[in-house]
């Protein structure tokens, strides 16, 4: 038991309190940064999702307009009216007619019309994924902070007890264990690629 008396050493306990305090503060600070980054990417993802939805609705309106102009061109009996309708086509429809005059409203046309909306949705998905990664990092750092704060409490209680107390040794040992566990968990916290 005398061998374990070094756990009750004032310098060891003071060092433990300092290290646990620093690591608790670092984990807390990095956790708040992770939460901020998560929020930032979620807001950006929601904006992109909304923009994608707006672009999708806009593309639908242009598609209806293209169908209307194409139907007008198809049913007209006047060259002047036909020229008017053709001039009113969207660029995507003009490209689709040039590529496939027999089926201008094929898959390529729709892909072109929805390209902007799809780009927004792809960016939104990527930002939601990044927000999830920041969330995982923040959760890991919160666990580290909890473990380190628990160790800090053990070290603080240990320093308040008398040198002869077995509880002092127990609390000091628990403080060391929580410090090591917290350090291992800290090193295992997922990193988010920039």
Model confidence band, residue 12 (pLDDT cutoffs 50, 70, 90): confident
Residue 28 CA, chain-centre distance (Å), reads: 19
In this prediction, residue 169 carries a pLDDT of: 84
Of 194 and 167, more confident: 167
Q: Is the pLDDT of residue 35 over 60?
A: yes
Kindly state whether residue 33 falls inside one of the protein's structural domains.
Answer: yes
**How many angstroms separate the CA atoms of 181 and 173, rounded?**
12
User: Residues 155-164: what's their mean pLDDT?
Assistant: 84
**How many angstroms separate the CA atoms of 148 and 184, rounded?**
11
- Average pLDDT of the chain to the nearest whole number: 92
Give me the residue label for tokens 């984990």: 27
Domain tally for the chain?
1
Kindly state whether residue 192 falls inside one of the protein's structural domains.
Answer: no
**How many angstroms separate the CA atoms of 69 and 93, rounded?**
10
User: Residues 2-13: what's their mean pLDDT?
Assistant: 68
User: Residues 122-134: what's their mean pLDDT?
Assistant: 97
Model confidence band, residue 7 (pLDDT cutoffs 50, 70, 90): low
In this prediction, residue 2 carries a pLDDT of: 57
- How crowded is the C-beta side of 98, counted as CA atoms within 13 Å? 8
Kindly state whether residue 162 falls inside one of the protein's structural domains.
Answer: yes
Three-class DSSP category at 163: coil
Task: Give the pLDDT confidence of 53-89 residue by residue, as tens digits.
Answer: 999 999 999 999 999 999 999 899 899 999 999 999 9
In this prediction, residue 126 carries a pLDDT of: 97
Kindly state whether residue 50 falls inside one of the protein's structural domains.
Answer: yes
**How many angstroms separate the CA atoms of 186 and 24, rounded?**
10
Domain that includes residue 178, residue range = 2-187
In this prediction, residue 8 carries a pLDDT of: 63
Kindly state whether residue 75 falls inside one of the protein's structural domains.
Answer: yes
Three-class DSSP category at 45: helix
**How many angstroms separate the CA atoms of 147 and 17, rounded?**
13
Kindly state whether residue 139 falls inside one of the protein's structural domains.
Answer: yes
Residue 129 CA, chain-centre distance (Å), reads: 5
Would the pTM of this model clear 0.85, i.e. be above it? Answer: no
Kindly state whether residue 96 falls inside one of the protein's structural domains.
Answer: yes
**How many angstroms separate the CA atoms of 36 and 126, rounded?**
17
Between 41-45, 132-136, 165-169, 170-174, the lowest mean confidence (pLDDT) is in 165-169
Kindly state whether residue 194 falls inside one of the protein's structural domains.
Answer: no
Model confidence band, residue 168 (pLDDT cutoffs 50, 70, 90): confident
The string of DSSP letters for 55-119 reads: HHHHHHHHHHHHHHHHHHHHH---HHHHHHHHHHS-HHHHHHHHH-TT-TTSHHHHHHHTHHHHH
CA distances from 131 to 34, 37, 46, 123 (A): 9, 7, 11, 12
């Amino acid at each position: 038991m005398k061998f374990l008396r070094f756990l009750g050493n004032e310098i060891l306990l003071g060092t433990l309190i300092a290290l646990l305090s620093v690591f608790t503060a670092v984990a807390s600070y990095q956790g708040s940064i992770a939460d901020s980054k998560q929020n930032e990417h979620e807001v950006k993802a929601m904006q992109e999702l909304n923009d994608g939805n707006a672009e999708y609705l806009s593309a639908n309106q242009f598609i209806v307009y293209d169908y209307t102009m194409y139907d007008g061109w198809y049913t007209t009996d006047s060259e002047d009216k036909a020229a008017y309708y053709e001039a009113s086509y969207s660029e995507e429809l003009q490209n689709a007619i040039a590529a496939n005059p027999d089926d201008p409203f094929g898959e390529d046309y729709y892909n072109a019309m929805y390209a902007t909306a799809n780009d927004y949705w792809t960016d939104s998905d990527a930002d939601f994924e990044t927000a999830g990664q920041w969330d995982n990092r923040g959760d890991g750092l919160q666990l580290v902070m909890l473990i380190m704060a628990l160790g800090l409490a053990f070290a603080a209680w240990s320093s308040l007890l008398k040198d002869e107390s077995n509880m002092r040794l127990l609390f000091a040992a628990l403080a060391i264990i929580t410090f090591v566990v917290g350090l291992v968990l800290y090193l295992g916290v997922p990193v988010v690629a920039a």
